[in-house]
Structure 1
């Protein structure tokens, strides 16, 4: 997405104070988005019990957010370029806050899903403006420090989200059970809106690309035709209409590609810059992003269900169990970018995929060996290994993927990478029906052997994760051996920090 900025503002006196307060607002918005995503998974079993949500509804609570977020990211960025980043950011933040309240008061599972979709759509308006506002607010020599702060926010959101979700759920504040995980956004959002109106300066792109609403409709329609029957099919006995719908999605995607080519010839502002896929390393990198998102989408959903429903752990116990994973991600991410990637290039990412796969295999063995008597401390080793592997991948992946992309297309490439991350996550959540629930022995659950049944289904799902990681590793061989240093165009259109895959949008 385009993040071309206006001229650098003066950094003196009141203007200097205003820009740092503006930074606080946009960083708070980023934190809200990250925490709200990671906070949800840990509350899933409580949501299921409280409002009678089916397993497919639980998938849609996260999948609906991810799909709406991914579908609107590029368009959200262009709306900011055209109509003003401040205006669109505040609109998105208002919608996100209201959608959070709707999630918090939802008494019907379908209303909760609809509210989560609205949350994802409004986040797609809010999030793309964040770095564009930073770029327009801070001079070039200060942006490195600011982007470093965003890296810290990503890490903090990944670590604090599950724990905060566990605490808010377990404390049962005012008898609201899981609902405070959403309602907490109301005071934060109101304060952010008041400060944002006062301190964020307006900016637009001098030559913004036009909107491609037809492209958005075709892409979203194709994804819904694929994901809806994939998610609902199991509960409906895998009906014929579902198979036909999934097959028909291929035709819609073909129509999308054809229209994007037409849009390129017509006005040069397609939703997706198809010429990027002529760059072999970029095409392979998009494959890596999607496959990696699928692996993460499957893992984080089945992991939560395994711990809380299968093993009967409390939300707090499950949340604390994930700390070694989050620490592994944060530590490895910092080391990979600063020390390892400049020296070893794509081998670092490949080592990360191998480490994640090794952690998955170790987790499968431990789950079977210890059975329902497994303890959190026994999970620490595989989770740490998986976290280290993920950290070696997520931090340097974007820069590696766009290394050979022409400089004038670096902004479009970054926007597409962020979109495909979320799409992969949504597809992974849809595949949970096949990877996990199809293997779940519901008779055993009804007979009081939920621990054994969920353990078997968890191991089945983890084999899926291992297989997808093998695909990730294979695709990584097509990435550039070394990521080229960021050129001038990269500075003009910096990539957004990757959302933690743990977010499981």
Structure 2
């Protein structure tokens, strides 16, 4: 934007002056990314603190699952709604409001006296995260151009991936530090000072934008989709600990009915010329119909892995939270490095790179299972390092490739809606992974922790094997393909 570029020989414009001119300074990009990092990391940072939370609040295993899945359901259900509210009422305003809500919810999480209060605060946290994240991507989309825009979106892609694995490392460090005897609470309280700094800076240097033609809010679709997820996830997380009473089966049946109702309502809304939360016409596109199934499967496996690995290391190997976090460093490092080279490999090798990434991840997971089962209970951090590194490298390739391929057939004017559907399914998959494979692990762990981990990971390995084969059915990549989604209607 010419209004944000200083003339030769003139002093560089200040971040605030650039914001007033409608542009975004690199410092603004950094603080928006910091704002996005917190809620993405918060889905995973809790994993290594689960044993400490259970001991402190006397929480059952199924309640611990709800601490993770409740956040994910609220996040997934309201993500597209957050994008549309930002379009209508202003992205800058909604970003700041959602960040305030996220900070307050984090404070409530850190001060929670009971597991019920913690679960409720986590749901509020997830809802605020869903309102916050779309504003970051949409602001990049509307205030940056050319290389600066591509760089910012690439940084967001790396940020979202790294936050997932770094979250467990940071969580381990904070829990082990046991600051002033607070145990697990700093993993939430740390969001307060960081969030306040981001709030104060972003309020001054991030420009306000909104859509000239905002899409209406699909309230019926949002409510039905959220109800479907809740009706499915509650019995999956609580059923095994309660002995599967009749109401759990009733809720699962209700989830099927609600899912069908959601599709019917969305189809009718689209027929009337409206833009629903989950447009059926988009779901029928080859890239969406095939790719979204793969994204959902990938996310189920990834969410479950982070959950069961943290419990295996701490409950099974009796490592403290610090070592539980350190164990994930090889995966974090290779995920980061893989994220940097993945777009280039995708452009050069296309779907073959996606299949290769799946095979690398499969190798790492199978090797990790073999190490844990064979050496149990004398499993060292170093013995797990290489398989975890391979898994991280393969995951980074799948993460980049699946996101790129899903949007390949989506028309440009519907790109924001398509990416909203994509990230909604991704977050739903993370929550489903905890509720399904996480439940499988919890059922088997009392008998043998290593074999419980192996059972969950055998399913995960099967999912990754299917992804390796399924990559051939995805549309061909093009050099101008989308690498990072933008939620903007």
Q: Assess if the C-alpha contact under 8 Å between 1:234 and 1:433 holds in 2.
A: no
In structure 1, the partner of 2:204 is: 198
Q: Which residue of 1 aligns with 2:5?
A: 11
Partner of 2:357: 352
1:328-343 pair list within 5 angstroms: 328-338=334-344, 340-343=345-348
Deviation per CA, 1:214-250, whole angstroms, max 9, x where unpaired? Answer: 1011111111111110110001101222122212211
Offset, 1:408: 2.4
State how 1:269-280 maps to structure 2 within 5 Å: 269-280=275-286
CA distance in 2, matches of 1:255, 1:174: 51
User: Does 2:31 align with 1:25?
Assistant: yes
Does the 8 A contact of 2:19 with 2:207 survive in 1? no
Gaps of 5+ in 2: 7-12
Mapped partners of 1:191, 1:162: distance in 2: 23
Contact 2:282 2:410 in 1 (8 A): yes
The corresponding residue for 2:266 is: 260
TM-score (norm 1): 0.90
Summarize the Cα distance change of 1:405–1:496 in structure 2 as closer, same or farther, 3 Å threshold.
closer
SS in 2 for 1:208: coil
2:462 equivalent among 453, 464, 467: 467
Mapped contact 2:162–2:335 kept (Cα < 8 A): no
Asked if 1 retains the 8 angstrom alpha-carbon contact of 2:331 and 2:392, the reply is: yes
What does residue 452 of structure 2 align with? 457
Q: Answer yes or no: is the 8 Å Cα contact 1:324–1:387 preserved in 2.
A: yes
2:407 pairs with one of 393, 402, 405: 402
Superposed counterparts of 1:29-48, under 5 Å:
29-48=35-54
1:269-308 equivalences in 2 (<5 Å): 269-308=275-314
Aligned to 1:114: 120
The alignment covers a number of residue pairs equal to 475
Q: Which moved more, 1:159-168 or 1:200-209?
A: 159-168
CA distance change for structure 1 residues 312 and 406 in 2, over 3 Å: closer, same or farther?
A: same
| Correspondence for 1:172 among 146, 159, 178 | 178
Q: Distance in 2 between matches of 1:123 and 1:406?
A: 27
Q: Distance in 2 between matches of 1:125 and 1:358?
A: 37
Asked whether the equivalents of residues 404 and 484 of structure 1 are also in contact (C-alpha less than 8 Å), the reply is: no
Aligned-CA RMSD value = 2.0
Structure 2 residue corresponding to 1:477, chosen from 453, 472, 482: 472
**What's the CA shift string for 1:304-340, capped at 9, x where partnerless?**
11000111001111111111111121222222212x2
C-alpha distance 8-174 of structure 1, shift in aligned 2 (>3 A): farther
Partner of 1:223: 229
The alignment's TM-score, normalised by the length of structure 2, stands at 0.92
Distance 1:369 1:282, change over 3 A: same
1:233 partner SS: helix
- Name the CA shift for 1:153/1:9 in 2 (closer, same or farther; >3 Å): farther
Question: 3-state SS of the aligned residue for 1:373?
Answer: coil
Q: Matched residue of 1:195: which SS?
A: helix
CA contact (8 A) 2:283 2:289 kept: yes
C-alpha distance in 1, partners of 2:40/2:149?
21
Which deviates further from its counterpart, 474-483 or 185-194?
474-483
- Which of 301, 312, 320 is the equivalent residue of 1:314? 320
Following superposition, the deviation at residue 41 of structure 1 comes to 1.1
Q: Which residue of 1 aligns with 2:397?
A: 392
Equivalent residues in 2 for 1:178-189, closer than 5 Å:
178-189=184-195
SS in 2 for 1:457: helix
Which residue pairs with 2:55 in the alignment? 49
Unmatched 5+ residue regions in structure 1? Answer: 1-6, 445-452, 498-505
1:138 match: 144
**In 2: Cα distance, 1:469 partner to 1:169 partner:** 32
For residues 364-443 of structure 1, the aligned pairs below 5 Å read 364-441=369-446
Q: 1:378 to 1:462 in 2, by over 3 A?
A: same
Distance in 2 between the 1:410 and 1:381 partners? Answer: 38
Contact persistence 1:9–1:138 (CA under 8 A): no
Distance 2:122 2:284 in 1: 36
- For the Cα contact (< 8 Å) 1:76–1:125, is it kept in 2? yes
* Bigger mean CA offset, 364-373 vs 354-363: 354-363
Cα 1:154/1:242, change in 2 over 3 Å: closer
- How many angstroms apart in 2 are the aligned matches of 1:349 and 1:384? 17
Looking at structure 2, the residues matched to 408 and 345 of structure 1 have their Cα atoms a distance apart, in angstroms, of: 24
Bigger shift: residues 206-215 or 37-46: 37-46
Relative to structure 1, the CA distance from residue 89 to residue 277 in structure 2 (aligned partners, 3 Å threshold; closer, same or farther) is: same
2:216 to 202, 210, 216: 210
CA–CA distance in structure 2, aligned partners of residues 422 and 79 of structure 1: 19
Q: Does the CA contact (< 8 Å) of 1:321 and 1:380 recur in 2?
A: yes
Q: Deviations over 1:435-491 (max 9, x none)?
A: 2122233xx5xxxxxxxx2112111111121122233334323201334524xxx69
Partners of 1:8 and 1:137 within 8 A in 2 = no
Please say if residues 358 and 386 of structure 1, whose CA atoms lie closer than 8 Å, have aligned partners that are also in contact: yes
